[in-house]
Structure 1
Amino acid sequence: MSERAFLPVRIAVLTVSDSRSLAEDRSGQILVDRLTAAGHILASREIIHDERDQIAARLRAWCADPEIDVIISTGGTGLTGRDVTVEAHRDVYEKEIEAFGTVFAIVSMKKIGTSAVQSRATGGVANGTYLFALPGSPGACKDAWDEILVHQLDYRHMPCNFVEIFPRLTEKMRRK
């Protein structure tokens, strides 16, 4: 860590599930618990069905909300016919953060071996907002937060982090 002061980030958590309620949403709760314990702000939380256009619409609405800096979704990243979260995220991205999925796969390999190949975790940027799609398992959410996001969403993390480039995410939009 550096001498920089911590900057809290406003994070929305979206659980994609046809069957879970808020009370049964262990993965979403893990993310909420971890982000608030790290000093960040829970900006919003919702559960939505596995419907591509509904997921994309929610992501777009949150990206347009100036009170939300980061969106983390959980669920719908697998290979089954109902798993459409990754497609919905990519419908919204202006830029994909390809290395996020790669780093997540590396982290997962250490925990679940070659089963990590079944994950399609992804990250991207849209309208100055970071978006991350995580698998629906509690373990995957813990791994993504503890091994990647807790560091990249901390302004003090060196040599670089996502927070320090927030002001530059919308450079193209400001030049018009």
Structure 2
Amino acid sequence: MNAQAERHEAGDHVVLGKLTSPYGVKGWLKVYSYTSPMDGILDYGEWVVRQGDVLSRYRLVQGRRHGKGLVAQLEGCGTREAAEALAGAEILLPKSALPSLPRGDYYWYELEGLTVVTREGQVLGRVQYLFETGANDVLVVRGDPLGEPAAIDDRERLLPFLPDEVIVAVDREAGRMTVDWDPTF
């Protein structure tokens, strides 16, 4: 394969998707995309593929929608065996390659780890991850009463990501998100 193996911090990257399984006999792979829209992952001509601790760069030769998913061909991956070797690997992109967003918009990875505080100053916990529903995105916030800062309890809360309704303010530099939320809910 023509991939360049690298070692550097995975923290410099964001996960865009996953190579799930081979597709056909010519080295194509099925792709599970975390981007929205789904085929937005195909806009990036070079992918960093993570297998364990090893990061390798691959040029995207071509990709397309296939049924309800995506398939892609990577440079140097021309056989089913080569595709099988990549199955299960994550697709990463350097954070520096992501397009700038308008003020008030955020990539999910920028919200993960923020401390969530009510308007009244009660710490609910930290954003663990987000997920998409049909209506709106949802924050999963987990409390840690022994953490720093200490949360009011160890509950896991699901908060709708509704700017100007539930989400009052996001201060990434301070690592804090202020919410209008009843802690008993």
| TM-score bucket of the superposed structures, by smaller chain | under 0.3
Q: TM-score, normalised by structure 2?
A: 0.26
More strand by share: 2
More helix by share: 1
Q: Which structure would you say has the larger RCO, counting Cα contacts within 8 Å and 6 or more residues apart?
A: 1
Q: TM-score, normalised by structure 1?
A: 0.27
Instruction: Answer with 1 or 2: which has the greater Rg.
Output: 2
